[in-house]
Amino acid sequence: MNKKITVLKGDGIGPEIVNEALKVLDKIAEKYGHTFEKDYVDIGGASIDKFGVPITAEGLERCKNCDSVLLGAVGGPKWDVIDPALRPEKALLKVRSELGLFANLRPTKMFGQLKSASPLKETGIADGLDLMMVRELTGGIYFGEHKTFEENGQTVATDLMLYSESEIERIGRVAFETARKRGKKVHSVDKANVLDSSKLWRKVMHRLAEEYSDVEYSDILVDNTAMQLIKNPSQFDVIVTENMFGDILSDEASMLTGSIGMMPSASLSSGRLGMYEPIHGSAPDIAGQNIANPLGTILSAAMMLRYSFDMPKEADAIEAAVDAVLSDGYRTGDIAGSDEGIKKVSCSEMGDLVCSKL
């Protein structure tokens, strides 16, 4: 099978971790008889330095005209002082919007081999953790109108959180359909005791819950969700929520596993096109040192095979290879811990090890 991948390496550790994911994809192609054609496009600070914008119109078109997009990370202090409209992160919002990537899937799974790295290891309450965060990605406060103005002699700023019934319904359906393939349980996160947008969110979710009567459904306020993720995270199967809440909660959930470097994500459209990336940032403080953890990116590549390319066998093979490498005691620095028998390896060595297991 021939598939075209637009590769957005980005900034900081982005190029390093993406290189390891591509190495793994090349091994999959060799083993299973596929061809993965790669089209490299600059994004973020790398694009600003070269073209003056976080992504060019041509680059955006190349993202649209492929089978899938693989992203590293964008941003860094070098570009913090430029015009906010040209910040590296603006490219991500543009790609998500232009490609219609409305559904962000962020799995959070406790790898038994990494239990000692979890901040909750002493309690054991995160043992067996395996949840899926379904985040609406192209609506809400990040895409609403932003205004700064002068009023009564002082500066005032406002950000609009806007949602329509159809936007809520389509992300809700993703959550319920995902739950049907997992533990058949959905928690819908909102702030319906305060926000009108959340009241509408809850109304639409209740309507969907009646349609998906085979799935256990619960409403939960966002502040309670933040507490329950620490108190009893294993109660969750699928969590669905709006853009900003999902951004915050998914980062919190990722740390239950001990390292944000392990967490992949998929951003999906209504068709097969998706963008796949680790959920961590560009980590400029360790860029170029070959010490970053590439496993989140490698596992994102596995999600690409599963969701965009309909290659579940190949995706399973990558996930099994990662599990085997961890079982053999190999760790990058962020997940090394202090356990006996741990063998600390570099970013590129970790990629090589996963390939060797394949």
Instruction: Tell me which of 191, 212, 237, 307 is the catalytic residue.
Output: 191
SS (H, E, C) 135-164: EECCCHHHCCCEEEEEECCEEEEEECCCCC
Range in 89-103, 197-211, 334-348 with the lowest mean pLDDT: 334-348
| 262-286 pLDDT tens trace | 889 999 998 889 999 998 899 999 9
> What pLDDT does residue 124 have?
62
Q: Report how far residue 192's alpha carbon sits from residue 182's, in angstroms, rounded to the nearest whole number.
A: 27
* Residue 216: strand pairing partners: 185
Domain ranges in the chain? 1-102+275-358, 130-255
> What pLDDT does residue 72 have?
97
Known catalytic residue at 223: yes
Q: Report how far residue 277's alpha carbon sits from residue 288's, in angstroms, rounded to the nearest whole number.
A: 19
Q: H-helix or E-strand containing 104?
A: strand 103-109
Q: Report how far residue 124's alpha carbon sits from residue 252's, in angstroms, rounded to the nearest whole number.
A: 17
What's the average model confidence in pLDDT over 77-103? Answer: 91
Given a cut of 80, whether residue 257 has pLDDT beyond it is: no
Nearest CA to 163 out of 205, 134, 132 is that of 205
| 133-173 pLDDT tens trace | 999 999 999 999 999 999 999 999 999 999 999 999 999 99
Range in 74-88, 177-191, 282-296 with the lowest mean pLDDT: 74-88
Instruction: Tell me which of 142, 276, 307, 330 is the catalytic residue.
Output: 142
Nearest CA to 14 out of 277, 345, 265 is that of 277
Known catalytic residue at 109: no
Q: Report how far residue 43's alpha carbon sits from residue 35's, in angstroms, rounded to the nearest whole number.
A: 24
Instruction: Tell me which of 127, 130, 251, 323 is the catalytic residue.
Output: 251
> What pLDDT does residue 125 have?
66
Q: Report how far residue 307's alpha carbon sits from residue 296's, in angstroms, rounded to the nearest whole number.
A: 16
Instruction: Tell me which of 49, 223, 310, 328 is the catalytic residue.
Output: 223
Q: Are 241 and 188 in contact (CB under 8 A)?
A: yes
Q: Report how far residue 62's alpha carbon sits from residue 5's, in angstroms, rounded to the nearest whole number.
A: 10
> What pLDDT does residue 251 have?
86
Q: Which top CATH class is 130-255?
A: alpha beta
pLDDT over 90 percentage in the chain: 81
Known catalytic residue at 26: no
Known catalytic residue at 247: yes
Q: Concatenated DSSP letters for 246-295?
A: HHHHHHHHHHTTT-GGG-EEEEE-SSS-EEEEESS---GGGTTSS-S--H
Mean pLDDT of the chain: 93
Known catalytic residue at 191: yes
Given a cut of 90, whether residue 110 has pLDDT beyond it is: no
**CATH architecture under which domain 1-102+275-358 falls:** 3-Layer(aba) Sandwich (3.40)
Q: Are 53 and 21 in contact (CB under 8 A)?
A: no
Nearest CA to 37 out of 22, 50, 47 is that of 22
Instruction: Tell me which of 217, 247, 330, 334 is the catalytic residue.
Output: 247
pLDDT band at 340; cut points 50, 70, 90: confident
> Does 130-255 match 1-102+275-358 at the fold level?
yes
